[in-house]
Amino acid sequence: MKAAKELNYISLRKRKAAQNGADSGSGIGAKLGNIGVVIFGMERSFVQLPITAEAIQGVERQITRMNRNMLLANVPQLEQSPAFMIDNSVEGLVLRCPPAGAFPSPEENEFIRLVHRYPAVWLFNKPENGHGDLCGYDTAKTVLMAVNHYKEMGHKHIAFINPRPGNLLLEQLKKHFFFEAPKAGLKTTLLEKERADPITWPLPAIQDVHYVKPLLEQLKAMPKKQRPTGLFVGGDSIAVQIYIAAESMGLKVGKDLSIISVNNEKTLTNILNPELTTVDVFSEVVGHRAVDQLIWRLQHPEVTQEMRVLVAPSLKVGKSVKKLN
């Protein structure tokens, strides 16, 4: 009770009575309620990736602007549920889960049963059997920007490199890649690791060269005239490992192979030489918009259709793409 008083916390029932129909997004006066932010099924290495950290930062800033409280929980193993979900201390949830692996059914897992109790918005990806809205970035436009840049730089043969088959975001990018690149008149190749089933949680980030080096070895083993000259990579953490693996194999990025990546995670890529060309997905803005969507959902409980809010990306041009004649 002392902590609640210090935080100006008002229970949902009392808040609704006090508001008496007032606009719940006003941002003035007493705190209006609690929003739960839950990260689950992810190893620390994944949670600490800049794309996740920046999105959560965007969520927190927007919750504060709306005069609400953020309650944050990390549930790597899904073995226990946050107290604020058990005792109904939150109005709704912003969720971040791995883009690959099995999502348990509510019948199998108490945490999942609790998730289904609340209005929810997912960050970047949503499991097939997850409920709620999604806020992410436009994967189709992301790929189109990369393909067009390769074409402008004179490349005729490009490859999609996928070290983790089954990753929902990578699979979306792959689908768009093999639609957009041939449409632009470019030859395509798939460099993909053999799928390992099942993918288990908590899922680690791709932060080791062993994920990508066999794929680069496939590339190097091709006759030089048949090799793709450019790679499209689904995340900056993967691109960093490609830089490391390429150097160990005597390949120079920006000279022997070109790279375009996704996310614009500057804290990962600012040490890369040459500077990485990457698509900025504005992860902090994704976090802002996720909160906006959740508040809209709370204000419109009569709308049952699930929605997708996609932020438009922007290409950040570096020196990792060689200009070909």
Tell me the one-letter amino acid at 253: V
Do 242 and 207 touch, CB atoms closer than 8 A? no
Do 313 and 142 touch, CB atoms closer than 8 A? yes
What is the chain's pLDDT, residue by residue, as a tens digit (325 residues)?
A: 888 777 777 666 555 544 544 444 444 456 689 999 999 999 999 999 999 999 999 999 999 999 999 999 999 999 889 999 999 999 999 999 999 988 888 898 999 999 999 999 999 999 988 899 999 999 999 999 999 999 999 999 999 999 999 999 999 999 999 999 999 999 999 999 988 778 889 999 998 999 999 999 999 999 999 999 999 999 999 999 999 999 999 999 999 999 999 999 999 999 999 999 999 999 999 999 999 999 999 999 999 999 999 999 999 999 999 999 8
pLDDT at 200: 87
pLDDT at 91: 96
Q: What is the pTM of this model?
A: 0.89
Q: Token pair for residue 269?
A: 């890529």
pLDDT at 248: 96
Q: What is the CATH number of domain 139-281?
A: 3.40.50.2300
**What is the distance of C-alpha 170 from the center of its chain?**
10
Query: Could you tell me which CATH class the domain 2-137+283-311 is placed in?
Result: alpha beta
Q: Which residue has the tokens 């793409």?
A: 321
Q: Which residue has the tokens 């980030």?
A: 205
> How many C-beta neighbours within 10 Å does residue 44 have?
11
DSSP output for 6-63: HTT---HHHHHHHHTT--TT---SS---EEEEEEESB-HHHHTSHHHHHHHHHHHHHH
pLDDT at 29: 53
Rg of the chain, C-alpha, whole Å: 22
Tell me the domain boundaries of the chain.
2-137+283-311, 139-281
- Measured CA angle at 234 (ends 231, 237), to 5 deg: 100
- Identical fold, 2-137+283-311 and 139-281: yes
Q: Token pair for residue 49?
A: 């990736």
pLDDT at 22: 46
Do 271 and 243 touch, CB atoms closer than 8 A? no
**What is the distance of C-alpha 279 from the center of its chain?**
13
Do 67 and 26 touch, CB atoms closer than 8 A? yes
pLDDT at 15: 56
